[in-house]
Amino acid sequence: MSEANAVPSRWRCLCSYDGTNYRGWQKQPNGQSVQGCIEQALQQTFTKKTKTIGAGRTDAGVHALGQVFHFDAAWRHGSDKLLNALRVRLPEDIQPLELVEVPSSFHALCSAKGKYYVYRAVEGHALPLEMRYVHSLKNRSLDVASMRKGADHLVGRHDFSSFAASRGSGEKESPIKELWRLEVVRSGRRVKIKALGGGFLYKMVRSIVGALFDVGIGKLEPDDIRDLLESRERTRMVKTAPARGLSLEKVYYRRPKV
Catalytically annotated residues: 59
Contact 19, 117 (CB under 8 A): no
Q: Residue 18 and residue 131: Cα distance in Å, rounded?
A: 12
Q: Residue 153 and residue 148: Cα distance in Å, rounded?
A: 9
CA separation (Å) from 138 to 125, 134, 145, 176? Answer: 5, 12, 20, 35
**Which distant-in-sequence residues (6+ apart) come within 8 Å of 253 by Cβ?**
111, 112, 113
Q: Residue 177 and residue 156: Cα distance in Å, rounded?
A: 8
Backbone angles phi, psi at 5, to 5 degrees: -95, 0
Q: Would strands 114-122 and 63-73 be described as parallel, antiparallel, or unpaired?
A: unpaired
Q: What is the dihedral of CA 76, 104, 17, 193, to 10 degrees?
A: -150
